[in-house]
Amino acid sequence: MAGGMVPLFYRHHPFMQSTDLPPVYTKEADLVVRPRISSDDRRQVTDLLEDAGFVLFEAPGYRAQPGTQYFQDQADGAKRLASSYIEFLAPLRGKQKEFIHPQSGLRSQALRYVDLLDHEPLEVDAQSVESPGIDEPCAIRLPHPATFILQKLLARKAGRS
């Protein structure tokens, strides 16, 4: 996981539970995926999300290009972007386009330095976090705080160049 919800999950890791700071996070879950997700004997990510009660909201693209895909609770519908959603990110390498297709039907925004987030990740039991309301056993991989900050700084600097 990367993005706005990471600080929420950090608070439930044994090394970071003793903070008095108020939580600062947004309600989107950015999930980092590899540029290609094997579908050998596995269901498509989009099917799994649909089975879990998510619908697809597609943001408009630019000049007939596709926009970002967001997956949000079906209770919010698919006509406008909800305040809570899931978005997929993948590493940008070379001169790739803005989006890549890691699996059929799944469009992922390609960002520079996102692969740093996989270096020595931390794991948190998602059931220990009240806010998202996850009922099934699930380990969430979070970027190490140092690489999380480094990726943000490098991406911001690259965006200015």
Domain boundaries, the chain: 6-160
Mean pLDDT, the chain, rounded, equals: 82
Strands 69-73 and 54-58: antiparallel
Mean pLDDT lowest among 23-27, 39-43, 52-56, 129-133: 129-133
Helices (DSSP H) in the chain: which residue ranges?
6-10, 45-51, 145-160
- Res 72: pLDDT: 95
- Kindly tell me if the per-residue pLDDT of 161 is higher than 60: no
**How far apart are alpha carbons 80 and 104 in whole angstroms?**
23
* Tokens, residue 105: 């039907």
pLDDT in tens, 142-153: 899 889 889 888
pLDDT in tens, 30-66: 888 888 887 665 678 999 999 989 999 999 888 878 8
Q: List b or e across 103-128, with b for residues whose CB sees 16 or more CB atoms inside 10 angstroms.
A: beebbbbbbbbbbbbeeebbebebbe
* pTM assigned to the model: 0.81
Among residues 90, 132, 92, the alpha carbon closest in space to that of 107 is found at: 90
Decide which of 123 and 16 is more confident: 123
- Res 23: pLDDT: 62
